[in-house]
Amino acid sequence: MKRAAFLDRDNTLIYDPGYIHEPEKVELLEGVPEGLKLLKEKGFLLIVISNQSGIGRGYFKEEDFWAVNGRLQELLKPYDVQIDGFYFCPHKPNEKCNCRKPKTLLVEKAAKDFGVSVSESVVIGDKDSDVEMGFRAGCRLAVKVGAPPFDNFLKAVEFVLSST
């Protein structure tokens, strides 16, 4: 079976000033292209799992979410790396859905769609809910980026690869 890196998008891969929905504002964070390329080279599928309550709150539309993803892919092209799949929860936190992190429905769906062994997979995100989702889903490892010791994505990836 395959293994995946389940990745948060906003403030993990791209800078998010708050409910990012304009493709022209997408900026890769430090170490992201290099880290994604390393994960790919080590055989990980790259799958984004993202809470997008801005859709449910009416701040932006689902097509804006996809446009931002498209811009992310464009920015990664020069590095010869692409995200394999995007999964998102559009619900507000108070809707108590099963797809909002730290719940695991989106990991389960992605694992089924891609034939991924969750127990051999990892999670990298910027929030405690990302790490909690990884542990709840039974992933091998879940790390939080954005604070020491993983103050950039590449450092988090290097740790993940040294631990798997």
Instruction: Write out the binding residues for substrate.
Output: 8-10, 16-19, 50-53, 100-101, 127
What does the block give as tokens for 143? 């790390």
Instruction: Write out the binding residues for Zn(2+).
Output: 89, 91, 97, 99
Instruction: Answer yes or no: 10 catalytic.
Output: yes
Contact (Cβ atoms closer than 8 angstroms) between residue 124 and residue 157: yes
The candidate with the shortest Cα–Cα distance to 90, out of 64, 62, 59, 52, is 52
Instruction: Answer yes or no: 151 catalytic.
Output: no
Unique residue bearing structure tokens 């127990």: 119
Q: If DSSP codes are grouped into helix, strand and coil, which group holds residue 76?
A: helix
Candidates 10, 80, 130, 151; catalytic one: 10
Instruction: Write out the binding residues.
Output: 8-10, 16-19, 50-53, 89, 91, 97, 99-101, 126-127
Candidates 8, 84, 128, 151; catalytic one: 8
Region at 146 (left for phi over 0; alpha for psi -120 to 50; beta for the rest) = left
Please list the active-site residues: 8, 10
